[in-house]
Amino acid sequence: MPKVGIIMGSDSDLAIMKDAAEILSQFGVDYEITICSAHRLPEETFRYANSAIDRGLEVIIAGAGGAAHLPGVIAASTLLPVIGVPIQSGALAGVDALYAIVQMPRGIPVATVAINGSANAALLAVQMLAMENAALRQALQDYRREMAKAVLNKDRKLNQLGIKAYLEG
Ligand code: RP5
């Protein structure tokens, strides 16, 4: 049964939101993925949020651009934690979505990641699930160890090759 719901306001968000799906797959976390707009499909959006707990979801990642109300609307209709991903789109390039999502009024929180930060949204979801899952905790430790190793390798290479050769390579 999927533990994470990834939902987005439009298929135009998919190129960004697919990163969340990739991270969840990498950690072996089952997810469902949905396109459902809060303003174009308001009733379906409420149905999605209202049924989320019964469907077995434990956390929701919601991405939207523009006047991005989808994460807040979903958070208002479920007790599950909602992680909002502001999508870069339109004249304001995601700053509109960032402000809309991060500035949720008191009472209904939405955890907000960076503009287009769907990978971090998925990592945060994995961390939430890892609270009660030792195997996921170990997988997160390994993931961080690999990241650290990659930085150390880059540093070693830079100091072996020098700036010019590093940049050319
Ligand atoms: C939002 O409006 C969506 O989340 C999307 O980021 C943006 C544009 O949607 P489309 O017009 O591309 O469908 O609801």
DSSP, collapsed to helix, strand or coil, labels residue 37 as: coil
* 151-156: average pLDDT: 98
Contacts of 115 (CB under 8 A, 6+ apart): 86, 87, 88, 93, 94, 95, 97, 98
Ligand 1 atom with the smallest distance to the CA of 38 is 14
- Residue of the nearest CA to atom 10 in ligand 1? 10
Q: Any idea where the domains of the chain sit in the sequence?
A: 4-132, 134-169
**Single-letter residue type at 134:** A
Task: Name the closest-CA residue to atom 14, ligand 1.
Answer: 9
**pLDDT tens sequence across 11-37:** 999 999 999 999 999 999 999 999 999
pLDDT band at 86 (very low <50, low <70, confident <90, very high): very high
- Rounded to the nearest integer, the mean pLDDT of the chain is 98
DSSP symbols for 45-89? HHHHHHHTTTTT--EEEEEEESS--HHHHHHHT-SS-EEEEEE--
Residue partners of 22: CB distance under 8 A and separation at least 6: 119, 122
Predicted confidence at residue 28, as pLDDT, reads 98
Helix (H, G, I), strand (E, B) or coil at 36: coil
Q: What pLDDT digit, counting tens, does each position of 97-145 carry?
A: 999 999 999 999 999 999 999 999 999 999 999 999 999 999 999 999 9
Q: pLDDT-derived band of residue 3, with 50, 70 and 90 as boundaries? A: very high
Closest residue by Cα to atom 12, ligand 1, is 12
Architecture of the 4-132 domain: 3-Layer(aba) Sandwich (3.40)
What would the pLDDT profile of 40-81 be if each residue is shown by its tens digit?
999 999 999 999 999 999 999 999 999 999 999 999 999 999
Q: Ligand 1 — pocket residues by CB below 6 A?
A: 8-10, 12-13, 37, 64-66, 87, 89
139: DSSP letter:
H
